[in-house]
């Protein structure tokens, strides 16, 4: 951990803050309405299994790591129905790529991307909307899916994004497409970043190996409102210029900004115009996935692969603020996939390999570090003074937040969990590799 004295005053302000929270009758985007995984829900289940405390379980066709979204009693989720490519096609597509890339890649011959409606009360499948058909997709990483970005739900409009494979708007009342658009990009390992909706503008991260930019689409028409290129990179290798982070929109001291981590640079933009507000050079990190968290004028960002670090940065700057607004950094057990969670001046995170860490945000010091076990991709969520960590083996470890590590429960379901859970009044929504669960009483 590196401490920077010029940041001390700003971080002490955080002592008086409280985390944002959101309404319990909806979950409109990745990690909830405020984008941080904090819920005001009550009577959230603590214990369950495949056989116990399950209101319903619904099999979902295809494969997708996107989280469901909820509104007006309906859950919506995306999925990819694939036909496996031949070995010949695989070899041709991966020709010239490094051996490790070939060993960790999957390829489909065709992909059908769909949106599926599930009734929250009963688990019954309702509308199914075909969104995009891809007859020559690129390879993806074996731990990814073609439907990993989480959609955004706004009233009767569902905004789905699949990176290079397409972005669209669905009328959920009619089950029909309103508009669709494609922004071709070279992901190399598949799509990852989820869209964000702000005041009628759909903000997208388009950090590919071939080009890197962020943009805003008109939510009503899909037309591009603005497009802003990312700052230049030191690395010439396109693999080290790509990223998959989901934007976080925050307002501080009257200024609203979309904070979007990327390779080498963390940047903030005006979400309505795309104007870059500030940037931070975090080093050589790339393929950033975790969504930032924010509290009292400070944003906490994971820097991605190579050597993952956690950076605390004040958001009131202009231009390149690397030397003026970065407070502390740390590099112990920082995740490259799960997003962190921030609650009452303590930041909680779990590494991809299952080591949980609690950090005091006033100084960046580690409070505790404990091994949860298993591998993690899903981001933690909090409700009723409990933090829920879901690993890839279908196990959910529930802990009590605080300066002492305390496990409250461990729960298992069949299958793999890659999607982040929804914490709701009296229920939890879990997505496995094959099914959607409503945990709690019927």
pLDDT tens-place string over residues 9-63 = 333 333 333 334 444 578 999 999 899 999 999 999 999 999 999 999 999 999 9
Helices (H), 273-366: none
- Which pTM value belongs to this model? 0.93
Spatial contact of 385 and 24, defined as CB atoms under 8 Å apart: no
The pLDDT score that the predictor gives to residue 170 is 98
The pLDDT score that the predictor gives to residue 378 is 98
Dmax of the chain from CA atoms?
Answer: 60
Structure tokens of 213? 């930019």
Spatial contact of 372 and 378, defined as CB atoms under 8 Å apart: no
The pLDDT score that the predictor gives to residue 14 is 36
Closest CA to 243 of 269, 206, 277, 194: 206
B/e letters for 33-67, b = 16+ CB within 10 Å, e = fewer, are: ebbbbbbebeebbeebeeeeebbbbbebebbbbbb
The pLDDT score that the predictor gives to residue 95 is 86
237-266 pLDDT tens trace: 999 999 999 999 999 999 999 999 999 999
Spatial contact of 221 and 180, defined as CB atoms under 8 Å apart: no
Spatial contact of 258 and 268, defined as CB atoms under 8 Å apart: yes
Alpha carbon 167 to its chain centroid, in Å, reads 17
Domain locations in the chain? 5-439
Structure tokens of 35? 């984008």
Task: For residue 89, give the H/E element and its range.
Answer: helix 87-93
Structure tokens of 209? 């190996």
The pLDDT score that the predictor gives to residue 15 is 34
Low-confidence residues in the chain, pLDDT < 50: 2-23
Alpha carbon 42 to its chain centroid, in Å, reads 24
Spatial contact of 74 and 422, defined as CB atoms under 8 Å apart: no
| Distance separating alpha carbons of residues 283 and 185, to the nearest angstrom | 24
CA distances to 125, 246, 286, 304 from 242, in Å:
36, 13, 6, 10
Query: CATH assignment of 5-439, given 3.30.565.10, 3.90.25.10, 2.130.10.10, 3.50.50.60?
Result: 2.130.10.10
Spatial contact of 4 and 393, defined as CB atoms under 8 Å apart: no
């Amino acid at each position: 951990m590196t401490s920077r004295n010029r940041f001390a005053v700003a971080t002490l302000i955080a002592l008086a803050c409280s985390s944002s929270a959101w309404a319990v009758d909806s979950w409109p985007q990745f990690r909830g309405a405020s984008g941080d995984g904090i819920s005001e829900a009550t009577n959230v289940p603590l214990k369950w299994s495949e056989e116990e405390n399950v209101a319903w379980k619904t099999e979902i066709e295809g494969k997708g790591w996107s989280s469901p979204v909820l509104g007006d009693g309906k859950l919506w989720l995306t999925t990819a129905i694939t036909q496996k490519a031949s070995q010949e096609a695989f070899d041709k597509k991966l020709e010239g790529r490094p051996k490790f890339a070939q060993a960790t890649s999957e390829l489909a011959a065709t992909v059908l991307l769909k949106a599926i409606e599930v009734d929250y009360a009963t688990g019954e499948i309702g509308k199914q909307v075909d969104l995009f058909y891809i007859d020559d997709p690129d390879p993806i990483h074996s731990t990814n899916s073609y439907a990993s970005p989480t959609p955004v739900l706004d009233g009767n409009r569902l905004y789905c994004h699949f990176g290079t494979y397409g972005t669209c708007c669905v009328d959920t009342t009619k089950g029909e497409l309103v508009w669709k658009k494609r922004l071709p990009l070279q992901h190399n390992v598949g799509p990852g970043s989820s869209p964000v909706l702000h005041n009628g503008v759909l903000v997208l991260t388009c950090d590919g190996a071939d080009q890197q930019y962020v943009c805003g689409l008109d939510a009503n028409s899909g037309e591009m409102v603005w497009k802003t290129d990312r700052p230049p990179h030191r690395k010439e290798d396109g693999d080290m210029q790509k990223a998959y982070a989901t934007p976080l929109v925050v307002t501080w001291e009257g200024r609203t900004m979309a904070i979007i981590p990327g390779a080498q640079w963390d940047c903030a933009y005006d979400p309505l115009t795309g104007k870059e507000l500030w940037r931070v050079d975090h080093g050589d990190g790339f393929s950033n996935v975790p969504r930032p968290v924010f509290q009292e004028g400070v944003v906490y960002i994971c820097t991605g692969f190579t050597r993952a670090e956690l950076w605390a940065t004040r958001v009131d700057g202009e231009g390149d603020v690397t030397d003026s607004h970065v407070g502390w950094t740390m590099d112990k057990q920082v995740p490259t996939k799960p997003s962190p969670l921030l609650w009452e001046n303590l930041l909680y995170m779990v590494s991809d390999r299952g080591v949980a860490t609690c950090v005091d945000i006033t100084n960046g010091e580690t409070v505790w570090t404990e091994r949860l076990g298993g591998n993690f991709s899903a981001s933690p969520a909090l409700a009723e003074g409990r933090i829920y960590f879901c690993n890839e083996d279908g196990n959910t470890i529930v802990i009590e937040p605080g300066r002492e590590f305390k496990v409250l429960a461990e729960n298992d379901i069949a299958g793999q969990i890659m999607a982040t859970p929804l914490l709701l009044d009296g229920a939890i929504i879990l997505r496995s590799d094959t099914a959607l669960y409503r945990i709690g009483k019927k």
